[in-house]
Structure 1
Amino acid sequence: MNIFKATFLFCLLLGPTACTELQQVVNQLPDPAPALGNDQIANGLKQALNKGIEQQVAKLTEEGGFFKNELVKIMLPEELQKVDKALRGIGLGNLADEGLRVLNRAAEDAVSEATPIFVNAVNEMDFADAKSILLGADNAATTYLTEKTSTQLYAKFNPVIESSFAKVGADKIWANLINRYNSIPLTNKVNPDLTDYVTQEALDGVFTMIAVEEREIRNKAASRTTDLLKRVFALQD
């Protein structure tokens, strides 16, 4: 109930003397915060998404950003897991580890292409998008970005990963790995499309980390680092 309506009702019940004292107390209360407008709600959601991009996506571009993060570390595709196991079984564990490391390094290179695409998607968000996100599930903002950016990100990531394979020597390392494996007697030959696989895994890693930040902001008041974030996300608490 509105505080002023409540005061009026108490005045009717308690009489003029008590009413005067109650009114003095009410007058000392701070004015209620003004209601948030549509633009403020949309801007609050944009701040949250930009914070996720700044705090989490940027980390993935660092060396070890994928390889040292168990949430997004790229493991081998199913058809190459037998390669890894076989190589370790004959004492080539170091070679297998290096193969994993260069796959993750290629993903780290590619993620640097993500930020401008994300920023553009965030800038295009309108109030209807923001309202749907605010009242949606814990990953609603991440889902919004996934739908808006996945096609563009794949197109950007794929050639960077292909180029990165050459730059970090992944193409040669994996040619060596696969040749070693294919030379083991009684094994089935393998030749997977690693560029497509790592591209998809890099995309999954990016959205995983944005979802981490989104859950932090939604569920922990301390993660709402601006006044606007605090006021907007208080609406969903």
Structure 2
Amino acid sequence: MKKSLLLPIVILISACAEISIPTNFPIPQGSGSKPLTNSEVVQGLKEALAVGAKNSTGLASQVDGFYKNPKIFIPFPPEAEKVRKTLVDAGFSKQVDEFTLTLNRAAEEAAKKALPIFTDAITKMSFTDAMGILRGPNNAATEYFRKNTSEQLFAAFKPQVHEAIQKVKLTSYWEPLATTYNRLTLLTGGKAVNPNLDDYVTQKAIDGLFVLIEQEELKIRKDPAARVTDILKRVFGNN
């Protein structure tokens, strides 16, 4: 009886000795039968970012792309909220509405210049970055973008915003409002306001684009129909 039990145990131990434990980071297999190479993973993630950036900038830069999208609509500058309220109470609602519309028009105009900036950032993605994005949360690509390009985007985007502000004559809407507000508060000792519109619109425009990019990223991760190229289908097929 003891002999009959010993033989299976010896066989089991021998079989275990044959098993090799993988030490490399697993490469996703994709939707096909052939394993993906490192370069294919990087290519797939770059394409995902490129698709997201293209769609997002396209949506943001169209007429009403910011103004009629409640998720990225740019409101009256928070530090000038007292200006808005004072002017509305004084009967300047129309002028305030025109200013807010033009604020968003400036962001829409500036967004037309954003795609090359995002494209340049995409080219710098490494294999490690790609795998981190692929295995990360649903907004990992967006956060990679935000972490690695925010400062560069602001520096590169601000001149475009300034140009857009000049093109849509945003300052011409703001200056009469600020002047009127400052005159109304002169007798009360209120503090004059003059927020930096270039900085405000630049940051809001970038934040809005990231919101749209995150939406596009989620589509690619969750919706097979959003995987518009073969490499995207392979990389995200079984992800």
Provide TM-score, normalisation by structure 1: 0.81
Alignment of 1:110-125 (within 5 A): 110-125=110-125
- 1:66-107 deviation digits (Å, cap 9, x = unpaired): 111111111122221111122222221110011111111111
**Counterpart-to-counterpart distance in 1, 2:196 and 2:47:** 38
The code of the aligned residue for 1:164 comes to A
Equivalent residue, structure 1, for 2:52: 52
Look up the SS of the partner of 1:125 in the other structure: coil
- Do 1:113 and 1:156's aligned partners in 2 also have CA atoms closer than 8 Å? no
Match of 1:210 among 210, 213, 227: 213
**Counterpart-to-counterpart distance in 2, 1:44 and 1:165:** 37
Look up the SS of the partner of 1:183 in the other structure: helix
Q: 1:58, CA displacement in angstroms?
A: 1.7
**Counterpart-to-counterpart distance in 1, 2:113 and 2:153:** 8
- 1:162-185 deviation digits (Å, cap 9, x = unpaired): 232222121111000111111224
Equivalent residue, structure 2, for 1:201: 204
106-115 vs 130-139, which deviates more?
Answer: 106-115
Q: 1:143, CA displacement in angstroms?
A: 1.3
Structure 1 residues 89 and 154, CA gap change in structure 2 (3 angstroms): same
Q: 1:126, CA displacement in angstroms?
A: 2.2
**Counterpart-to-counterpart distance in 1, 2:121 and 2:37:** 21
Equivalent residue, structure 2, for 1:171: 171
**Counterpart-to-counterpart distance in 2, 1:162 and 1:227:** 40
Q: Highest relative contact order (Cα 8 Å, sep 6+), 1 or 2?
A: 2
Look up the SS of the partner of 1:200 in the other structure: helix
**Counterpart-to-counterpart distance in 2, 1:116 and 1:217:** 21
Equivalent residue, structure 2, for 1:88: 88
The code of the aligned residue for 2:229 comes to T
Alignment of 1:98-113 (within 5 A): 98-113=98-113
Look up the SS of the partner of 2:184 in the other structure: coil
Query: Unaligned 5+ residue runs, structure 1?
Result: 1-31
Identity score, percent: 42
221-230 vs 40-49, which deviates more?
Answer: 221-230
Provide TM-score, normalisation by structure 2: 0.80
43-52 vs 112-121, which deviates more?
Answer: 112-121
Structure 1 residues 96 and 47, CA gap change in structure 2 (3 angstroms): same
Equivalent residue, structure 2, for 1:128: 128
The code of the aligned residue for 1:183 comes to R
Q: 1:113, CA displacement in angstroms?
A: 2.3
- Do 1:142 and 1:207's aligned partners in 2 also have CA atoms closer than 8 Å? yes
The code of the aligned residue for 2:167 comes to K
Look up the SS of the partner of 2:91 in the other structure: coil
